[in-house]
Amino acid sequence: MRLERYLTVDDFKREAEKRVPRMFFQYADSGAYTEGTYRANSDDFARVRLQQRIGVDITKRSLETTILGRRITMPLGLGATGAAGMQSADGEIKAARAAEKFGTIFTLSTVSICSIEDIAAATKAPFWFQLYVRKDREFTGRLIDRAKAAGCGALVVTMDCQHYGQRHKDVRNGLTVPLKLTPRFLAELAVKPRWALAMLGTRRRTFGNFAGHVPAAPSAAALAEWMSQQDDLTLNWKDLLWIKQRFGGPLVVKGVLHPDDARAAVAHGADAIIVSNHGGRQLDGAPSTIRVLPRIVDAVGSRCEIYLDSGVRSGHDMIRAVALGARAVFVGRPFLYALGAAGEAGVSRLFEIMRAEADSALGLMSVNDITTLGADHIESNDLVPPRGL
């Protein structure tokens, strides 16, 4: 499929489903339990109406903004996603390169296939590192040190994954760590030869931030057993002080859905927060992120930068979130679909599509600078309280 034929995120999704083995495609494209929150994330975005205006000179439009002092091409970055390197061989490297070329942020997950050091060697622009705090605090400290040594621009601490919502698709697909080469999986590889050959051509096929960094786990099986015991149920706000002091750079707290938690994050040292429900992969029944965003902006918008993920599927969604108070949005599934469909070139094409959508929307709203968007650019509806015109 030629790149110019990709026009929407759904185009990438359909192509990725054809190219990526079912268990890995559905690992990305799944939510917890009934997937109600997963669906609500995008459904609620569609209910937010933009205010069309006319009669303004719109020849000098700009999508540029800054996050944590860094200027980016538009208020959209790539969020942390586990095992992106299973959507496409060396997937995290490909995505990071695309983000660097476009001029925006790439966030590497703790449970990535490519390691912190892999990304640092492949790119020059500072990337962000997303941290899962492990029960083994010594290992967690070494992860933070490695992120610092790599020059990461921010540390993103995810606080909504101390334990996990079940994703039924993963169970039905037999997705395990380490992966079992069952007859069913091998049969699928036979009809996905391009993916299989690419994977054979890379050494990166396990969790790069763990393999070789856990002395107590010398084998793949031992590492899997160690990882399965590392969910730290004790993680709380007081831990942020130690994390921030050890990293020594900007701290971002991810997983915020409630104003009180936003206030607590700021009180404990967060320089920014990400309004997130983990893409609907954790608490099934939790509200969509766009629904709670205005309340969180009211609570801490003057005290820290606020970002949003979960449900963003277009440049129009980015515009909606910025108008409701987000400094920027981060996407996960969209760039995974793009990776699975067309690798690095697919992610670059995704950026082009979302930039064109956002630029078109900005012009039709008679706005020249995306940083001037506000609630008065949103029509009243059941998600947004009525405001004076």
The residues assigned a catalytic role are 278
Residues 6+ apart with CB under 8 A from 274: 79, 156, 252, 253, 254, 255, 256, 307, 308, 309, 330
Contacts of 332 (CB under 8 A, 6+ apart): 28, 78, 79, 80, 81, 279, 309, 310
Token pair recorded at residue 193: 């030869």
Decide: helix, strand or coil at residue 230. Answer: coil
Q: Beta strands 328-331 and 251-256: pairing type? A: unpaired
Note the Cα 272 to chain centre separation in Å. Answer: 15
How far apart CA 86 and CA 206 sit, in angstroms, is: 9
Contacts of 76 (CB under 8 A, 6+ apart): 104, 312, 318, 328, 329, 330, 331, 351, 354, 358
DSSP bridge partners of 254: 158, 274
Q: How far is CA 28 from CA 25, 268, 291, in A?
A: 5, 32, 23
Distance CA(254)–CA(162), nearest Å, equals 13
DSSP letter string, 238-305: THHHHHHHHH-S-EEEEEE-SHHHHHHHHHTT-SEEEE--GGGTSSTTPPPHHHHHHHHHHHHTTTSE
Inter-CA distances, 80 with 5, 36, 234, 254, 363, Å? 27, 22, 23, 10, 31
Distances (CA, A) of 277 to 29, 147, 289, 310: 15, 24, 7, 7
Strands 272-275 and 305-308, by their bridges, are: parallel
Query: Which residues are CB-contacts of 147 (< 8 A; sequence separation ≥ 6)?
Result: 116, 129, 131, 155, 247
The answer to whether 350 touches 339, Cβ cutoff 8 Å, is no
